[in-house]
Amino acid sequence: ADYLQPKLLGILAFFNMQLLSSSVGIEDKKMALNSLMSLMKLMGPKHVSSVRVKMMTTLRTGLRFKDDFPELCCRAWDCFVRCLDHAYLGPLLSHVIVALLPLIHMQPKETAAIFHYLIIENRDAVQDFLHEIYFLPDHPELEKIKAVLQEYRK
């Protein structure tokens, strides 16, 4: 991980180019997202947190293919939030949720599981930011999460 750290932004730029390039096939785009997950697991919270904004940009780029591989998009975002240092979960909470809302109808259980991890499992780490999350749609998978959020409405 320490060896790759100085090259991490370059690696993310490469993944981004793979996802953006029209000359790269859909299977290679899937491989890029799978490789990104492997990279996050390898690098761990310290290094992933240091490039969290760029990582989110790359993951958002991957969401362009939510119709082609929604399950993989969910797994990549799940990997990201679990590889982040907990200190950054709160500040990124609303950004992650907004990015993932389009997936709630395609991958409801998987998307709700990410929200559950962020909002319920890490409630202590994100409680100062929960009042920002007032825009969740009505969905059966989100009922428990919405009940927790209701406690933080001002």
Q: Which residues contact 27 (CB under 8 A, 6 or more apart)?
A: none
Which runs of consecutive H residues, i.e. helices, occur in 51-140?
Answer: 52-62, 70-83, 89-100, 108-116, 123-126
pTM score, whole prediction: 0.94
Cβ burial of 67 (10 Å; 0-12, 13-18, 19+) is exposed
Closest by alpha carbon to 41, among 100, 87, 93, 84? 84
Residue 154: what pLDDT?
A: 64
pLDDT tens digits for range 26-80: 999 999 999 999 999 999 999 999 999 999 999 999 999 999 999 999 999 999 9
Task: Write down the domain spans for the chain.
Answer: 5-150
Q: Count of residues for the chain?
A: 154
Residue 2: what pLDDT?
A: 87
pLDDT tens digits for range 117-140: 999 999 999 999 999 999 999 999
Lookup: tokens for 150? 């209701």
